[in-house]
Amino acid sequence: MLDRRSQKNKATSYHLGQLKAKLAKLRRELIAPSSGGGGGGGLGFDVARTGVASVGFVGFPSVGKSTLMSKLTGTHSEVSEIDFTTLTTVPGTLKVHGAPIQILDLLARTCNLIFIVLDVLKPLGDKKLIEAELEGFGIRLNKKPPSIIVKKKDKGGIAITNTVPLTNIDQDEIKAVLSEYKMSNADVTIREPNATADDLVDVIEGNRVYIPAIYIDAISIEELDLLYKIPNSVPISSKEWLNVDELIESMWEALDLVRVYTKPRGQSPDYSAPVVLRRGKCTVEDFCNAIHKEIVKQMKYAIVWGSSAKHARGQKVGLEHVLEDEDVVHISKK
């Protein structure tokens, strides 16, 4: 164990980098699905995806996950004594602003949002334990991928470029991490402020998922102030159905979905059934494919009304045009 008072030198930096890379590789081996016949990705991971986005509930047993999920969706999951799992996963669907959202009582790396249900008697302790558990599974909560680029090359050794000061990592740590991954020739570009060796390891491993999280708990009115001190938290009472509307709105904002309404020729827009797309995959082409794959081949152009259009009277656009929430689209066929 290193003495915190000891001066950090080149040997120490290199050793620290090696240790963090070794630890990351060991964790990967522990959580990787078994290649044999008896393994798999864990209980409940084979749930069929429905809806445009999915929300997973995570928490220790008996904190009210299943109760809240049942009230939101009208479904029921049989509770297990194993942390973070259910014996049988019964996904439910909740419609929010016309968008079908899948609600799952399990932990899944494929979720678009995670609800972390805390015990109000020890919320900060539970929060710390659950976050550490998810970190071990390669899940990064309320974070974006680090702005670090690592490019392998055939020769030339290690070249490190940083556009921000290296405050939490030095060149020796970087070289140690690369060495542990047997990368002797690589270009490393760091644009991430306060980048760490763990950030570099995450980029090299390449299997991390970055998911927004909202912390919730079934509480009483007297306990509201305590929970509001936790960032990204929405205290609720599922028993009295208090503050649930705020939870649903927070979920909608975190999922960042795009609703697009269709407008047939000569008719008013159909506001009853929006085509719901994910931010980042919301072009006119994505809109067409969400309705039917053949529409892209038949489209001559599209007319768009709404936030993404340059004119209030509508704008003629092509397949690459990026749509915004509550746009209206008419497809003109060839």
**Which string of DSSP letters, residue by residue, matches 42-71?**
-TTTTPPP-SSEEEEEE--TTSSHHHHHHH
Question: What global pTM score does this model have?
Answer: 0.74
Q: How many domains does the chain have?
A: 3
Looking at the chain, the whole-number percentage of residues with pLDDT higher than 90 is 45
Q: What is the mean pLDDT of residues 152-178?
A: 93
223 domain-assigned? yes
244 domain-assigned? yes
Q: What is the mean pLDDT of residues 108-114?
A: 84
pLDDT given at position 80: 47
Q: What is the mean pLDDT of residues 56-72?
A: 77
Tokens 């990204």 belong to residue: 232
Q: What is the mean pLDDT of residues 37-47?
A: 38
pLDDT given at position 266: 87
Length of the chain: 334
Q: What is the mean pLDDT of residues 190-211?
A: 93
The residue ranking higher by pLDDT, 18 or 29, is: 18
45 domain-assigned? no
- Assess whether pLDDT exceeds 80 at residue 223: no
- Assess whether pLDDT exceeds 50 at residue 4: no
pLDDT given at position 220: 53
Same domain, 319 and 276: yes
- Assess whether pLDDT exceeds 80 at residue 204: yes
58 domain-assigned? yes
Same domain, 134 and 229: yes
Is there a contact between 47 and 106 (Cβ–Cβ < 8 Å)?
yes
Between CA 160 and CA 190 the distance in angstroms is: 8
**CA trace torsion 137, 3, 18, 201 (10° rounding):** 40
Same domain, 181 and 324: no
Same domain, 185 and 278: no
The CATH number of the domain where 244 resides is what?
A: 3.40.50.300
Q: What is the mean pLDDT of residues 103-118?
A: 82
Print the domain residue range for 280.
258-333
User: What mean pLDDT is reported for the chain?
Assistant: 81
pLDDT given at position 88: 45
Tokens of 106: 């399990």
The CATH number of the domain where 326 resides is what?
A: 3.10.20.30
- Going from the C-alpha of 49 to that of each of 46, 93, 108, 267, 332, the distances in angstroms are 9, 11, 11, 33, 31
Q: What is the mean pLDDT of residues 9-29?
A: 78
User: Residue 57 contacts by C-beta under 8 Å, 6 or more apart in sequence?
Assistant: 65, 68, 69, 103, 104, 105, 106, 114, 115, 117
Same domain, 161 and 25: yes
Same domain, 230 and 122: yes
pLDDT given at position 72: 81
285 domain-assigned? yes
Same domain, 69 and 117: yes
How far apart, in Å, do the first and last CA atoms of the chain sit? 71
Same domain, 187 and 251: no
Same domain, 268 and 309: yes
116 - beta bridge partners? 58, 215
Same domain, 224 and 88: yes
- Give the count of alpha carbons within 13 A of 257, CB side only: 25
- Assess whether pLDDT exceeds 80 at residue 5: no
